[in-house]
């Protein structure tokens, strides 16, 4: 009985199937992590609102929670990380207002739809300008940017370059919809294309 020749197409299909499954697992873990951190942030903010002296009480909450979570789950729950979760909730909850006594009031909080990894959101939360932050978030989702690519585009001042090259009415549209190409010749003006072909 002769050996059957190797069916490389068959092997490739199995490899592709396994890679796809692994990617889905990673995406699911990232998605769950981001939503969980959002909820942890929400619970921290709600607990802080119950305290009398918010600043002192907030420190106590974070310190105590950090000890409990680190003992139970290991690394990843330092007070710094918990502050970031709190900040994440405040940055991405809808219906947040600041009341007269400087306490946050959350009204029917609805979480945003999170499509990026926790590392993406940590980078985005460092951007002060809300329009710029929205732009980079939209572009990261649309173009499937890794955190490294997001860093690279931010460091190259993509948003600033686009803002300077457009009229002021288009800036808001840029922050809401990302980069829009209307005519084929606009693709030549696209900073990605210009950068790729080495033009200035």
* High-pLDDT (> 70) share of the chain, %: 68
Q: Each residue of 64-113: pLDDT tens digit?
A: 999 999 999 988 899 999 999 999 999 988 654 443 344 444 444 445 57
Whether 152 and 124 map to the same domain: the answer is yes
To the question of pTM greater than 0.85 for the whole model, the response is: no
In the block, residue with structure tokens 């199937």: 17
Cβ-count burial 6-39 (b if 16+ within 10 Å, e if not):
eeeeeeeeeeeeeeeeeeeeeeeebeeebeebbe
d(CA 88, CA 82): 10
Whether 17 and 97 map to the same domain: the answer is yes
- State yes or no: pLDDT of 56 exceeds 50: yes
Whether 61 and 154 map to the same domain: the answer is no
Q: Give the other-Cβ count within 10 Å of 97's Cβ.
A: 8
Angle, alpha carbons 70-127-130 (nearest 5°): 120
Domain of residue 83, residue span = 1-114
Whether 46 and 129 map to the same domain: the answer is no
| Final residue of a structural domain among 96, 114, 132 | 114
| Final residue of a structural domain among 69, 87, 114 | 114
- What is the average pLDDT score of the chain? 78
């Amino acid at each position: 009985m002769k050996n059957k020749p190797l069916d490389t197409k068959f092997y490739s299909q199995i490899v592709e199937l396994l890679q796809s499954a692994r990617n889905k697992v990673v995406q699911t873990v990232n998605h769950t992590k981001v939503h969980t951190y959002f909820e942890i942030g929400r619970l921290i903010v709600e607990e802080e609102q119950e305290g009398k002296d918010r600043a002192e009480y907030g420190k106590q909450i974070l310190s105590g929670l950090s000890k409990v979570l680190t003992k139970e789950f290991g690394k990843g729950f330092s007070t710094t990380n918990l502050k970031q979760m709190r900040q994440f909730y405040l940055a991405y909850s809808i219906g947040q207002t600041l009341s007269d006594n400087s306490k946050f009031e959350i009204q029917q909080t609805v979480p945003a739809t999170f499509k990026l990894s926790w590392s993406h959101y940590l980078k985005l939360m460092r951007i002060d300008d809300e329009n710029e932050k929205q732009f980079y978030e939209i572009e990261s989702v649309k173009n499937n940017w890794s955190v490294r690519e997001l860093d690279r585009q931010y460091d190259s001042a993509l948003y600033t370059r686009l803002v300077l090259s457009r009229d002021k009415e288009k800036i808001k549209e840029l922050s809401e919809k990302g980069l829009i190409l209307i005519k084929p010749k606009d693709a030549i003006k696209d900073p990605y294309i210009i950068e790729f072909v080495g033009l200035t």
